[in-house]
Structure 1
Amino acid sequence: MKNKRLKLARIEKDLSQAQLAEAVGVTRQTIGLIEAGGYNPTLNLCIAICKTLGKTLDELFWEE
């Protein structure tokens, strides 16, 4: 399942995949895979992404 909310939140903060990846300590490919639904990130990575983007876990990663 694609994570469109993550992509939108990243774009709202005017960050590229590479910039977000650098901020949270992973590769750009990892961010791309998370957005494409091809990678299930660890809880620690989810939290780091949320802090960087100013969002909650529910807002970015909770499936409705």
Structure 2
Amino acid sequence: MSELLEKFSEKLRTMRKKKKISQDKLANLTDIDRSYVGRIDRGEVNITLDKLYAIAKALECQPADLLPEIDYSQEE
């Protein structure tokens, strides 16, 4: 799992739990298959912008709220 996917999934889980929305309910709200929501939640898959916006809408947040911050000043 890439670091970006891991950070995204952590932010998603945190937001989802804060809103008291289960994976099953998120799947219903977004019309995304339940098993795929689980894979997103675990950081196993890259998602499309369409899915990002659908998830943000269901969680009543901005898509950017789910995206990890990146420090570009650090050298790799």
TM-score by length of 2: 0.74
TM-score by length of 1: 0.86
Percent of aligned pairs with the same amino acid: 31
Structure 1 stretches of 4+ moved >3 Å: none
Q: How many residues align?
A: 64
Higher Rg of the two aligned structures: 2
Whether 2:29 is the aligned partner of 1:23: answer: yes
CA distance in 1: counterparts of 2:69 and 2:33, whole angstroms: 24
Structure 1: state its 5+ residue gaps: none
After superposition, the CA RMSD in angstroms is 1.3
Which residue is equivalent to 2:61? 55
Structure 2: state its 5+ residue gaps: 71-76
